[in-house]
Amino acid sequence: MVETETGPGQTDSYTPDVDDGIVGEGPESDEEMPLADHIEEMIRRVAIVLGVSGIVTMLLYPGADLVNTAFGFELISSTEVIDFLWNKHIPGAPGIEARRPRVYGPLELLLTELKVAALGGLIIGLPVFVYETYLFMRPGLFPQERRYYLAAVPTSVVLAFIGISFAHFAVLPAIFAYFTSYTTGTAVVAFGLRETFNLILILMGYNAIIFQIPLFILLAIMMNLVTRRWLLDRRLIFWGTFLGLAFLISPDPTGMAPIIIGVTMIALFELTLLVLGWVRPDSPHSG
For residue 106, give the 3-state DSSP assignment.
Answer: coil
CA gap 102, 195 in Å, rounded: 10
Alpha-carbon gap, residue 154 to 236, rounded angstroms? 31
> pLDDT per residue over 169-179, tens digit each?
998 888 888 87
Q: What is the pTM of this model?
A: 0.73
List the Cα angle 28/34/35 in 5-degree steps.
115
84 contacts: CB under 8 Å, gap ≥ 6: none
Band (pLDDT 50/70/90 cuts) for residue 76 is confident
Q: Would you state the pLDDT for residue 186? A: 67
Contact predicate 232/147, CB 8 Å: no
The pLDDT value given to residue 61: 87
- One-letter identity of residue 253: P
The half-sphere exposure of 279 on its side-chain side, counting CA atoms within 13 A, is 9
Residue type present at position 247: F
How many beta carbons lie within 10 A of that of residue 114, not counting itself?
A: 16
pLDDT tens digits, 221-272: 888 889 999 999 999 999 999 999 988 876 676 778 888 899 999 999 999 9
The contacts found for 191-195 with CB under 8 angstroms, 24 or more apart, are 191/90, 191/99, 191/100, 191/101, 191/102, 192/101, 192/102, 192/103, 192/104, 192/108, 193/82, 193/101, 193/102, 193/103, 193/104, 193/108, 193/109, 193/112, 194/104, 194/105, 194/108, 194/111, 194/112
DSSP letters, 77-89, are PHHHHHHHHHHHH
Q: What is the C-alpha to C-alpha distance for residues 142 and 286, in angstroms, rounded to an integer?
A: 19
